[in-house]
Amino acid sequence: MKHIAKIMAFLMAVTAVWISLLQTKMIPQSHTWLLPLYFIVSLGCYGLLMVGVGLMQFPTCPQEAVLLQQDVIEAKQFLKHNGVDVGTD
């Protein structure tokens, strides 16, 4: 619940800054109306960047891969024993 409170506080702060920029006219009005769109696009780019970095740093676990292959072989044998066609490999 604390995380939601932080997100809501951040969104309220961003909204307050946006409204103050609309009222003070420090930035041209045509640019100020697009700030929420810029924020959403920036957030999406950040999310894609974090997914890409996570994929590049994804650890390989050879021991776990061997265990997974053993589980697959065991499952195929169990299914064949119970009369299920699992294909040939």
Whole-number Å distance between alpha carbons of 76 and 79 = 5
Mean pLDDT of the chain: 87
Quote the tokens at residue 21: 């920029």
% of the chain exceeding 90 in pLDDT: 36
Whole-number Å distance between alpha carbons of 77 and 65 = 18
**Bigger pLDDT: 44 or 2?**
44
pTM (2 d.p.): 0.51
pLDDT of 44 > 80? The answer is yes
